[in-house]
Chains A and B, each alone.
Chain A
Amino acid sequence: MSMLTIAMPKGRIFEEAAALMQEAGYQLPPELDESRKLIIEVPEENMRFFLAKPMDVATYVEHGVADVGIAGKDVLLEEERDVYELLDLKISPCYLAVAGLPGTSLNEVAPKIATKYPTVASAYFREKGEQVEIIKLNGSIELAPLIGLSDRIVDIVSTGQTLRENGLVEYETIVGITSRLIVNPVSYRIKNKEISTLVSRLTTTIEEKAVR
């Protein structure tokens, strides 16, 4: 049996992902979320975990330095990496939405959209038949319409609280998001046995949770 290297996302998704792995019967080391140590081996499971920025998980998996990863669908849509998307883990549900100040419309000359997801945003507006200008930001996207940088933002919404607190409203929902199990195409073949086991154990857990 060869060792599986698994890329886990830091932050919001991490706890739910780790809990799901534990429910599926995998012994995750308690020190994993302390994030001091970047790579942690779990010889009992023949696995090796490392923590990465959620946006980077698909990159590690595409290059094959991680066999498997857990990444949000938002990351997969944005990054368009060449990886297998095998399972919907049904955790960390949220959605991508278009938001802005209430009662405003898009600037007619050059409608500006601020977002952390330029690929998703430009594809969405193109499909709608609207030409917009995308401004890439790395965080605190809500600030953009408040300070006058953009007419709209495209961002992740989970409870909508951040939007409300900043006096923004949702205009359109783009797509629902959950976390996915992704796999490198070569690992999918070469480590097929190990990955199949992981997939079937997770599938069972996800189905059990859905019934509950």
Chain B
Amino acid sequence: MSKLLMFEKPVGMRDTLPHIYETKRKLKEAAENEMRSWGYRFIETPALEYHETVGDASAILDRQLFKLLDQQGNTLVLRPDMTAPIARVAAAKLLKERVPLRLAYSASVYRAQQREGGRAAEFEQIGVEMIGDNTLSADAEVIALLVSVMKQSGLDKFQISLGHIGFTDELFRQILGTKERSEQLRRFLYEKNYVGYREHVKNLPLSSIDKQRLLQFLSLSGGASCLDEAMKLVEGSAGKTALEELKAVFDRLKEYGVDEYVTFDLPLVSHMSYYTGLLFEVYADGVGSPVGNGGRYDDLLEKFGHPAGATGFGLRVDFLLEALEQLEEEAGVHCILFSNERRVEAIREAQKRRAEGESVLLQDVAGVDDVDKFTETCKEVTFFVGKSSYGGEG
């Protein structure tokens, strides 16, 4: 490899310059305040975790993990998401305090990029986890909060696609019988390969009715009416339970008044094995990847030794910023330029204005080469230069 040049950064690592920082800060503040106002408490966890515990339990593929070794030879990972670390803390400590737990986070996560640039390898996620509540009210609350957070962040053009892994599993189990065959078909959905799915179904030793059921499954997306279509595809109670759950959550979202943002997408499979029930992805106009996702993950906490149901969502701050389009104008500061003779006067003025809540920049004119250029972005400029106007302090 050639010698690194001084301006270079590792692939996918990005700087946040002042004007972007301001926009990001406002967005995060709005989102965090909304989460707080729903009674969620923020926590922080370390950036490094053990590969064997959190790394292994996380929903992120192993090849996307940044790994390093500690002095004892343990493999560490830079946390690839916040859900697994929070599950660790909850299982070890917090669940003993009070259940259900409403936790929130706003933190950087790390995912190595395999192929090329164009994707961030470090990005901030903001989200919530509701742990120890298995009711549909919990699922609905998390989605309703998600909508609120999006709106408070200044986004209005977005859509949430809702699916239920319980329905997919049950439909496949009924038609295909074995877990192995279901898994095969589920992989096509996970890989978004509908052509492969159809081909595979065509070649299965099934009755034409069953094949038709599997093919029809792909088109189960859109408004609430697709749930009725779905009802016709499954027999027995297990698959219907999943649909009834979706319906019930949708009704609750209507009560919250946020159903306009939600559509159904039953073939949605966000992950091969992580989610255990309702799951969803969030899409915003103008951003090429989902800005967030979430769902019910009832098996994760058990891995940390404390079985408990859980649901939550995570939003990517970088994608939300992309969706916002417009960057916040920098507020601008009041600039006070002073020369040595009137320094004290200038300091007093700055102190007074700062105490009133104004942002004040204090600059010795001797340190500035081009005053015009320097003051270009100032909101207002005051000079304390030359002989004091009224003697005294100067």
Interface residue ranges of A51-95 to B (CB < 8 Å) = 62-65, 82-88
Does A185 lie within 8 Å of B290, measured CB to CB?
yes
Contact of A190 among B193, B195, B285 (CB under 8 A): B285
Cα(A83)–Cα(B192), bound, Å: 7
Report the interface size for chain B: residues with CB under 8 A from the other chain. 21
Does A87 lie within 8 Å of B283, measured CB to CB?
no
Q: A63-B118, A190-B159 are in contact. Are A82 and B287 (CB under 8 A)?
A: no
Cα(A63)–Cα(B196), bound, Å: 22
Interface residue ranges of B283-312 to A (CB < 8 Å) = 283-285, 287-290
How many Å from the CB of B191 to the closest CB on chain A?
A: 8
B81 within 8 A of A: no
B265 within 8 A of A: yes
Does A186 lie within 8 Å of B289, measured CB to CB?
yes
Contact of B288 among A85, A87, A184, A192 (CB under 8 A): A184
How many Å from the CB of A46 to the closest CB on chain B?
A: 16
Does A186 lie within 8 Å of B193, measured CB to CB?
no
- Minimum CB distance partner of A193 in chain B: B222
A180 within 8 A of B: yes
Does B192 lie within 8 Å of A82, measured CB to CB?
yes
B23 within 8 A of A: no
Does A87 lie within 8 Å of B290, measured CB to CB?
no
Does B192 lie within 8 Å of A189, measured CB to CB?
no
Cα(A186)–Cα(B118), bound, Å: 17
B263 within 8 A of A: yes
A-B contact count (CB 8 A): 46
How many Å from the CB of A124 to the closest CB on chain B?
A: 17
Q: Digit string of A188-204 for contact with B (CB within 8 Å is 1, else 0)?
A: 01101000000000000
Interface residue ranges of B182-230 to A (CB < 8 Å) = 192-196, 198-199, 221-222
Q: Digit string of A164-181 for contact with B (CB within 8 Å is 1, else 0)?
A: 000000000000000010
Does A64 lie within 8 Å of B285, measured CB to CB?
no
Q: A186-B283, A190-B283 are in contact. Are A64 and B289 (CB under 8 A)?
A: yes
Q: CB-CB < 8 A to B193: which residues of A?
A: 85
Does A186 lie within 8 Å of B196, measured CB to CB?
no
How many Å from the CB of B230 to the closest CB on chain A?
A: 18
Cα(A114)–Cα(B290), bound, Å: 37
Q: CB-CB < 8 A to B192: which residues of A?
A: 82-85, 185
Q: CB-CB < 8 A to B199: which residues of A?
A: 88
Does A85 lie within 8 Å of B289, measured CB to CB?
no
Does A189 lie within 8 Å of B159, measured CB to CB?
yes
Q: CB-CB < 8 A to A84: which residues of B?
A: 192, 194
Q: CB-CB < 8 A to B285: which residues of A?
A: 190
B375 within 8 A of A: no
Contact of A88 among B159, B161, B195, B222 (CB under 8 A): B195
- Minimum CB distance partner of B322 in chain A: A64
How many Å from the CB of B50 to the closest CB on chain A?
A: 29
- Minimum CB distance partner of B158 in chain A: A190
Does B283 lie within 8 Å of A85, measured CB to CB?
no
Q: A63-B118, A64-B287, A65-B288 are in contact. Are A189 and B195 (CB under 8 A)?
A: no
Does A87 lie within 8 Å of B287, measured CB to CB?
no
Does A186 lie within 8 Å of B290, measured CB to CB?
yes
Does B263 lie within 8 Å of A62, measured CB to CB?
no
Q: CB-CB < 8 A to B283: which residues of A?
A: 185-186, 189-190
- Minimum CB distance partner of A184 in chain B: B288
Q: CB-CB < 8 A to A62: which residues of B?
A: 288
- Minimum CB distance partner of B199 in chain A: A88
Does A186 lie within 8 Å of B195, measured CB to CB?
no
Does B289 lie within 8 Å of A185, measured CB to CB?
yes
Cα(A65)–Cα(B118), bound, Å: 12
Please give the residue numbers on chain A whose beta carbons come within 8 Å of chain B beta carbons, in ascending order: 62-65, 82-88, 180, 184-186, 189-190, 192
Other A-B pairs beyond A85-B192, A185-B290, A192-B222, 7, CB < 8 Å: A63-B118, A64-B288, A85-B193, A85-B196, A185-B289, A186-B284, A189-B265
Give 3 nearest A-B pairs by CB, closest first: A64-B288, A84-B192, A186-B283
24 sample A-B contacts, Cβ–Cβ < 8 Å, listed by A number: A62-B288, A63-B288, A64-B287, A64-B289, A65-B288, A82-B289, A84-B192, A85-B192, A85-B195, A86-B194, A86-B195, A88-B195, A88-B198, A88-B199, A184-B288, A185-B283, A185-B289, A186-B283, A186-B284, A186-B287, A186-B290, A189-B159, A190-B159, A190-B285
